[in-house]
Structure 1
Amino acid sequence: MNPTQRELFELAKNASGVLHLIGKQLSDADAQAIAEGLKVNTTLDTLFLGQNQIGDAGARAIAEAIQANSTLTGLGLYENQIGHAGAQAFAEALKENQTLRHLALNGNQIGDAGAQVIAEALKVNTTLTDLHLKDNFLSNAGTTALRQTGNITSELAQIAAGAAAKAATEIQQLRSKLATNEQELASKDQEFATSKQQLAAQEQELQQLRSDLAVKDQMLATNEQELATNLQDLQQLRSELAAKDHELKAALDRIDVFERNQPAVGSASNFDGTILQVPLATLVAATNNFDADSLLGTGAFSRVYGATLPGPRVAIKRVSAESIHNYVAFQSELDTLSQFRHPNIIAILSYANSHDEYCLVYEFMPNGSVRDRLDCKNNTPPLTWAQRHRIAADVSRGMHYVQTAFPDHVLFHLDLKPDNVLLDAYFNAKVSDFGLVRVAQLDDQSYVRTQNVQGTKVYMCPEYLESGRMTIKTDVYAFGMILLELVTAAKPGILLKRTARKAANNQKCIEMLDSALHPTEAEGQSVGELVNLALECLEDFAADRPSFGSILVTLDP
């Protein structure tokens, strides 16, 4: 028993006089607990259990209890869910019980079979004088069986009279319904005649439509012939456009070569000043001995800490000296970033170099990486479409500068991805992490080759991944994957590329957009343009990819 049933047991066991448990939502299990208490009760006279949810199982338990109880004279089980099995249990109890005088079973689900077994029990029971069975499922067969017992005739007469009145009412209702149906049938006959006339008129109209359709078919055949001619003209125009597009790409590539042979101008400049070397102890003190509370993020071979040195807040990249590879990456990044300054390239401020570890000090980027913002890390709001488009333009501008900053050689980043694109307080993007950068001399060769392929595989173009070939289009492939991530906020991969190509072919690029965004009509058009640009950057053959110069013209005309 649960606590409620234990309480009901104690109540039934110790009650005296009259016990009211009406409308308590009592179940069969509750009734069984009450029955157990009733078996040992010697002072209870009347028990009311009406308007509950007691079914046959609960009724059987109560029936067994009244066989053992010798004081109960009144039992009310009206408006429950007792059926034939419960009625049969009470019939068996009435054969044994000699104290019960009043039994209320009205408003249950007892049928003729249940009434008949109770009637048989009443033939041997001489004490029950008041039996209520109204509002059950009884017909004349059930009431007749009960009436023949002779000792409860008053309510049975009422049941029989009620059944007869109910039958008369139902007959009257059926007659009324029949008359209504006859009227409806006559109305339907009239409607059918009208519909038949309308159908004849519609058939005549259909014949006219067929005649008109034949004329339209003839006109359509003529139009199809004209369309075929127009399609041939369109195909010719497409061929001419493809040729012009090829010429444009070739011209833009020539412009790139020209720009690489010019000195940098504008806000970007070659930087040949000395990067300040600071004592490692200064950085240790600024980060409280590289305490975890100062940690901003971790990479494969380094950790980045926030700190405050004299001047603005900075980010300190701590590179472990566990392998020569880490030292090479440290020196490569230091050498590269020491050569120039650009608004879209992370600025190195100072460095520390000891026998067991190396540190690079950068300008602090308060809005973290593009990947963190696409993931809404730390519950940050999603990037707006305008911010995403500007990030794409900033990255292309920074990479165009990296490839054209020096007249005699070109730089390959080789680890371009959203994790390595950082955002300042105004969400201006800056390319970072130049630890894998490679330098190639500009000569007659269009590519260089390496046996040591490094970077993040999903951003590697086929020729670099498979054979170690690097060209000025190698980083363009990674940029194409970044564009798809900016559009969708999804993780990179071959599936994302395939999904984008399918969406572009079906002109459904807008369906790829990050669900957190609700673009305007103009922004929706921009989404399609960015997806198509990404797919150009992700072409398998390097020659088919645009240069960063042409990408920048598209994104920042």
Structure 2
Amino acid sequence: MATLKKEALVRQRAEGYMIDAIQRAQDAENQRDICIEELRIFKEQETSLKRQIAELQRERDELQMERDHAQKEAEGLKKKGEGSSGHMLELPEFSLSKIAEATQDFNESQKIGQGGYGNIYIGRIQTEVAIKMLHSQGSQGSQEFQMEVGVLGQLRHPNLVKLIGSCPEAFALIYEYLPNGSLEDRLKCKDNSPPLSWQTRLRIAIELCSVLVYLHSSTRPHTIVHGDLKPANILLDSNFVCKLSDFGICRVLSRDQTSSDSITLSRNTVPKGTLPYLDPEFLQSGILTVKSDVYSFGIILLQLLTGKSPPYFIVDEVNSSLLAGNFESLLDPSAGHWPFEVAQSLVEIALMCSDNNRKRRPDLGSGVLELLESLRDPTGGT
């Protein structure tokens, strides 16, 4: 009996050891499965990260190429201007200490604007000026600085903002000060400013069209596409005269001396700008032409007519109102009573300009400017 009890105890212990071993084996197998799954997930994440790194590298290379190309364009414009008959004006350069003194050491009370580009201060350098401080980090500030100096340093038009000087060490640009701010602020009646009359809005449309015709002109070796046309970049002087500004992301389209003027200049580039005003074809294809500015001009015309801001779906709204025969209900009443013929002609021009197909958009210099000017002349009819 004692022997049997001892054997039973040994057998019981052996079974316990076997069960424990089986359990440990199952745990090890489960742990192995978990490790295999974790390894699979890790490999998937590694592949995804490699793909993201490659995409970021590609985007960085594209942006670097954009920056280098823009810098070459700006330098080319400057050399072109210096080699021409006095078109390139010598822009004075100011020290950082000078503009700090002009803005009371960049005091917050002197700040009159800010955005993704940097801050704008009002200051005094012999006369009142607006000083734009571009971000100095990365290549974007340098690119925008070079472009503004290269473009505004050689162009002169009554409806272009005047660049007075620069501060290269701080990527700062010094412009004439325009007391009535931006068209966007005036359309919103910011700071309780009075609404713009329809006559003033029509004049602004004519002036904006005039400066775009100048920039898009085929008579020069270079055609300028603004690329970020919107009310915030349209400034107004003391007499509400339109002054187009902010050429930091504009593009210079070079004209081949052997090509005819009928060839449409274009440029493959990374789409930039403000979404409601961006040419849909440019967004899809990355191909920029002067017709991209024409689209933005059409959206701005519709804003001048309706006062709607931001102008998302404004083309669809206007088209729907026209089909329903109640377009007049969309006209901004704060502008006063729009003459029906003027409003009708403006909306027709605006819808042609903002057509999704760039081939159907008009050339601003081939009749559009003359038509707009005729609307202002009470004896010229429509």
Calculate the TM-score normalised by the size of structure 1: 0.49
Correspondent of 1:500 among 313, 318, 329: 318
User: For the residues of structure 1 that align with 2:277 and 2:156, how far apart are their CA atoms?
Assistant: 26
Contact 1:504 1:531 in 2 (8 A): no
Contact 1:487 1:514 in 2 (8 A): yes
Corresponding residue of 1:346: 161
Structure 1 counterpart of 2:147, which letter? S
User: For the residues of structure 1 that align with 2:144 and 2:176, how far apart are their CA atoms?
Assistant: 19
Q: Residues 405, 423 of structure 1: CA spacing in aligned structure 2 closer, same or farther, 3 A cutoff?
A: farther
Q: Return 5+ residue gaps in structure 1 as ranges.
A: 1-268
Structure 2 counterpart of 1:512, which letter? L
1:318-357 → structure 2 map (5 Å cutoff): 318-354=133-169, 357=170
Correspondent of 2:356 among 540, 545, 555: 540
Corresponding residue of 2:116: 300
1:155-174 → structure 2 map (5 Å cutoff): none
**Is 1:363 paired with 2:176?**
yes
Q: Return 5+ residue gaps in structure 2 as ranges.
A: 1-84, 375-382
Q: Residues 375, 306 of structure 1: CA spacing in aligned structure 2 closer, same or farther, 3 A cutoff?
A: same
User: For the residues of structure 2 that align with 1:449 and 1:404, how far apart are their CA atoms?
Assistant: 16
Q: Residues 405, 306 of structure 1: CA spacing in aligned structure 2 closer, same or farther, 3 A cutoff?
A: farther
How many pairs does the alignment contain? 284
Structure 1 counterpart of 2:329, which letter? E
Runs of 4+ that moved beyond 6 A: none
Contact 2:195 2:334 in 1 (8 A): yes
User: For the residues of structure 2 that align with 1:432 and 1:368, how far apart are their CA atoms?
Assistant: 11
Structure 1 counterpart of 2:183, which letter? V
1:54-69 → structure 2 map (5 Å cutoff): none
1:270-281 → structure 2 map (5 Å cutoff): 271-281=87-97
Structure 2 counterpart of 1:538, which letter? S
Q: How far is 1:503 from its partner?
A: 2.0
Correspondent of 1:404 among 217, 238, 252: 217
Q: What do residues 484-538 of structure 1 show as CA deviations (whole Å, max 9, x unaligned)?
A: 1111111144421101112233443221111323306xx2331222111110101
1:138-177 → structure 2 map (5 Å cutoff): none
**Is 1:554 paired with 2:371?**
yes
SS at match of 2:172: strand
The percentage of counterpart residues that share the same residue type is 34
User: For the residues of structure 2 that align with 1:399 and 1:383, how far apart are their CA atoms?
Assistant: 22
SS at match of 1:277: coil
User: For the residues of structure 2 that align with 1:492 and 1:359, how far apart are their CA atoms?
Assistant: 29
Q: How far is 1:459 from its partner?
A: 0.9
Q: What do residues 309-366 of structure 1 show as CA deviations (whole Å, max 9, x unaligned)?
A: 11x3111111110110121011101100001211000010011011xx3111111110
Structure 2 counterpart of 1:288, which letter? Q
More contact order relative to length (CA 8 Å, sep ≥ 6): 2
Contact 2:269 2:287 in 1 (8 A): no
Corresponding residue of 2:47: none
Contact 2:255 2:265 in 1 (8 A): no
Q: Residues 472, 303 of structure 1: CA spacing in aligned structure 2 closer, same or farther, 3 A cutoff?
A: same
Q: How far is 1:295 from its partner?
A: 0.8
Structure 2 counterpart of 1:314, which letter? V
Corresponding residue of 1:85: none
User: For the residues of structure 2 that align with 1:423 and 1:380, how far apart are their CA atoms?
Assistant: 13
SS at match of 1:346: coil
Structure 1 or 2, whichever has the larger Rg, is 1
Correspondent of 1:531 among 303, 322, 347: 347
Q: Residues 288, 474 of structure 1: CA spacing in aligned structure 2 closer, same or farther, 3 A cutoff?
A: same
Contact 1:369 1:418 in 2 (8 A): yes
User: For the residues of structure 2 that align with 1:352 and 1:358, how far apart are their CA atoms?
Assistant: 6
User: For the residues of structure 2 that align with 1:414 and 1:379, how far apart are their CA atoms?
Assistant: 30
Contact 1:409 1:441 in 2 (8 A): yes
User: For the residues of structure 1 that align with 2:326 and 2:361, how far apart are their CA atoms?
Assistant: 23
User: For the residues of structure 2 that align with 1:406 and 1:324, how far apart are their CA atoms?
Assistant: 32
Contact 2:269 2:288 in 1 (8 A): no
Corresponding residue of 1:490: 308
Q: How far is 1:270 from its partner?
A: 7.5
Q: How far is 1:461 from its partner?
A: 1.1
Corresponding residue of 1:12: none
Calculate the TM-score normalised by the size of structure 2: 0.71
User: For the residues of structure 2 that align with 1:270 and 1:281, how far apart are their CA atoms?
Assistant: 31
Structure 2 counterpart of 1:363, which letter? E
Correspondent of 1:382 among 185, 195, 209: 195
SS at match of 1:501: helix
Structure 1 counterpart of 2:152, which letter? L
1:40-189 → structure 2 map (5 Å cutoff): none
Structure 2 counterpart of 1:337, which letter? L
